[in-house]
Each structure stands twice: as structure tokens, then as C-alpha cells.
A and B are shown apart, each in its own frame.
Chain A
């Protein structure tokens, strides 16, 4: 069985990097809806796709967080992206494939994928 020993090695490696996180005002927030409606609609794999994708691409100024129900249950899984100096973008009916695309196009290249946003529904 895997033990806690390996954690010590991780600590040594990471300790030097603690506190080097970007200032709050330069951080882009990816907010995944994780209430009952979101979870039932498939938010858990979406959250996983974002946390792993952001770590893999080393997007140090992106933080993935969760929120509760925002009252738009039928559009879940919902992911909101809040970048400093930009209007909030709300992506709806997100799945892990769309999440990968959103990471590549929106978070890396700064292009909003209009057809996945809530505005495309209106």
C-alpha cells in the first residue's frame, strides 16, 4: 500500500515555491457549479478536467474553485470564468471535452468560445 512517506519528498520539493503565487488581482478564476444540480449533471469530471488541465499546462495564474447553485440548474454543468479586466463568461452544459477546449482556447489563448456560452442559448 502507498504510504505517507512520499509526502515528505513533495514537501521538500514544493516548500521553496510556497508564496510565489501571483497577486490576487492578476488571477483568473474558473468557477465550477458543484451543487446537487451540477453534480447530477456531471460537474465532477468537469472539475477534474479543469484542475488537471490547468496543472498540466502550468497555468499558474489560474485558480479553479467551486460554487453552489446559481439558479440555472437546467444549464448545468456551468463553468464561469472571471479574468481581471474582463466581463464574466458563463459556459453551460460543459463536459470534459469542452473543458479541454476551454482551457486551450480561452485560458491559454484568451479566445471566448461563444457557442458554448449562455449567450448562445438566448
Chain B
């Protein structure tokens, strides 16, 4: 198991990278009244056929050759379901894949979200040729980071330039902190 939800997201988003997705959209949405934290990872990669899709949450199924287990998606599903939440995965060959994990926010079994900044910076700097769109919100209020927009401003300056990476880190940290202000005075820890 992963000690943070953000590590599950990093791991599962790597599958989108491997599926040659040009654009990967990740959202973390918190709904305090409904007591839910919803993570969605959507890509426009190669997608999966029905057989692969049916097996993808089986830990003893993998497409890799280096080992006989495939734990990434299984871990993510388990992490959501042990909170009393749910997990769905939909895919279509040639169109992409959509993974959605719903966590019960107040569950004792829910791992902390952890650093989405570290996850997004790792994904963006390691895959500067792909576009990532990250949305974080609490009760509908939040922010979006879209590398497609950034790329337009940056021109030929690559997204993994240290100065850009450090800007992305600050952007995510500051905007996450501002978004989390709504929770000030509550007992809720994301």
C-alpha cells in the first residue's frame, strides 16, 4: 500500500504516460458536506480492450515482463474501498482511460492526500512532452494548473527547466494553501 493518496496518483498516472497519452487530467475534489474526497485521472492514451480492463484491478495481472504482479491500480482501488468509498475504471481502445476513486473523507482508513505538489512536479518534469491538467477544489472552490496554457507562455522553454519547475512548485504550494483556507477552524485534514 501507499502511505499517501498522492503517491497512488503518481503511480496510476504513470500508466497514462505509458499508454502514450498526450494529455492527462487529474482532479482532486473535496466535498465536506458529503464527506467525500474524489480523485479522477483521465487520459487520451491508447486505452484498454475489454479483457485487459476486466483484469486491471487484479493484483496478479500485469502487462509487464519484469515481474508477475501489477499492484498500481489494485492499491488505488483498495485504498478507496477500505474507507467505504468506491472505485471505477472505464476505458476504450483508441480513446483513453478514466479512473475515479472516491474516498470517505472522515474514514479512519483514509490515507492523507499527501503532497500533490511533489506528485505533479514529478509528473511534469519527467514527462515534459505531455500535457498535464491538475484541478484541486474544496466545495467547488479551487484552482487549475494546465501545462498547455503554460507552454503557450513559455514558447520553446521546456517545462522541465529548473526555473520553470520551481515556479510550478511554488504555484501549486501557494494555491493549495489558499484553497485549504476554507477548512480553517474545522477539524478536517486533507
User: Contact residues of A with B, CB < 8 Å?
Assistant: 1-2, 4, 6-8, 10-11, 13-15, 18, 34-37, 39-40, 44-45, 47-48, 51, 55, 65-66, 68-71, 73
Contacts and interface: CB of A to CB of B under 8 A. Distances in A.
A71 B69 CA distance: 11
Contacts of B2: 39-40
B143 A71 contact: no
Given A10-B154, A37-B71, 19 more contacts: A1-B143, A1-B175, A2-B175, A4-B153, A7-B153, A10-B157, A13-B163, A14-B157, A14-B161, A14-B163, A15-B156, A36-B11, A36-B72, A40-B11, A44-B119, A47-B126, A48-B118, A66-B126, A71-B66
Given A14-B157, A44-B122, A48-B121, A68 B164 contact: no
Contacts of A73: 67
By Cβ-Cβ distance, the 5 closest A-B pairs, closest first, are A55-B162, A71-B66, A36-B72, A2-B174, A7-B153
Interface residues on B, range: 35 or more
Given A4-B149, A45-B118, A68 B18 contact: yes
23 contacts: A2-B171, A2-B174, A4-B153, A7-B150, A7-B154, A7-B164, A8-B153, A10-B154, A10-B164, A34-B14, A35-B11, A35-B14, A37-B67, A37-B71, A39-B11, A40-B1, A40-B7, A40-B71, A44-B10, A47-B122, A55-B165, A55-B166, A69-B66
